[in-house]
Amino acid sequence: MVRDLLFLHPGALFADRHVRHPLVADQVEVYDLYDVATLDLGRFLGVIVSGLSDQDFLWTQRARIRAFLEAGGVLVFSGHLYRLWIPGAGPFVPKVVRTFRDYELEVVRPHPVFEGVAAEDLTYRRGVAGFFARGHHPPPKGAQVVVAFRSGEPVVYVDRQSTAGTILVHSGNDLLGYAVAEGTAARLVPQLLAWMRTEGARNRAARR
């Protein structure tokens, strides 16, 4: 399979475990995060950025990232934004939690990445709540909220308005970590990679 998706490795052990999983390793090219300063991002349909990444560095590369998006690329970020290097994205807002049920999620809009994924399997991992998200990012105008807390705050949104490309922002742990998930959440990673490839190809075709 052609590796037309890119993961920018932040140099963290947890991220290393994700990209070594066969579901990811067979489909995704891996480069060090700091290579983005010289890497030809146009080679890839989509780029995945870990929440463990150096966001101060990504801020210095925001023009290159925007150029990739304006060319129709797909950007997927999981984590807590504190530097606004993603077009249209707002800073992370921690959730006020009084009970574990405050972490309960719902899929509020059908989306290929979450097709067949039960909200309960996102909320709970081995019986513990809160792994998928513990806060949210205010989405830009026109973005589509896909997953939200039951209290309404957006947890995953897709933004096709801020650039000519597509941005998926998830306010939790790296989605690639769900390669080892149990239950319906195991569908997330293969569906994410397939969607990125389809979305990126469609965006590029629309620009021809």
Contact 161, 183 (CB under 8 A): no
CATH code of the domain in which 41 resides: 3.40.50.880
Average pLDDT over residues 140-163: 97
151-to-11, 139, 147, 154 alpha-carbon distances in Å: 35, 16, 11, 9
State pLDDT tens for residues 115-128.
999 999 999 887 78
Quote the pTM value.
Answer: 0.95
Better pLDDT: 148 or 99: 148
The conformational region for residue 72 under phi > 0 = left, psi -120 to 50 = alpha, else beta, is left
Judged against a pLDDT cut of 70, whether residue 1 lies above it is answered with: no
Query: For the chain, how many structural domains are there in total?
Result: 1
- As a whole number, the mean pLDDT across the chain is 93
Sign, CA dihedral 80-84-90-91, equals positive
pLDDT at residue 208 greater than cutoff 90: no
**pLDDT (0 to 100) of residue 24:** 87
Q: What is the pLDDT of residues 4-57, one digit of tens each?
A: 999 999 887 777 778 888 888 889 999 999 999 999 999 999 999 999 999 999
Measured distance CA(156)–CA(136) in Å, rounded? 8
First to last CA, the chain: 24
Q: Say what the pLDDT of residue 153 is.
A: 96
- Could you read off the pLDDT of 156-191 as tens digits, one per residue? 999 999 999 999 999 999 999 998 888 999 999 999
| Percentage of the chain lying above the pLDDT 90 cut | 78
The pLDDT of residue 131: 84
The answer to whether 25 and 65 are in contact (CB under 8 A) is no
82 pLDDT higher than 70: yes
CB atoms inside a 10 Å sphere around CB 194 = 13
The pLDDT value given to residue 52:
93
pLDDT higher than 70, residue 133:
yes
What does the radius of gyration of the chain's CA atoms come to, in whole angstroms? 16
In the chain, the percentage of residues whose pLDDT exceeds 70 is 99
Q: What is the mean pLDDT of residues 129-153?
A: 94
The token pair that represents 54 in the structure block: 């150096």
| Residue 125, pLDDT score | 81
Structural domain including 172 reads 5-206
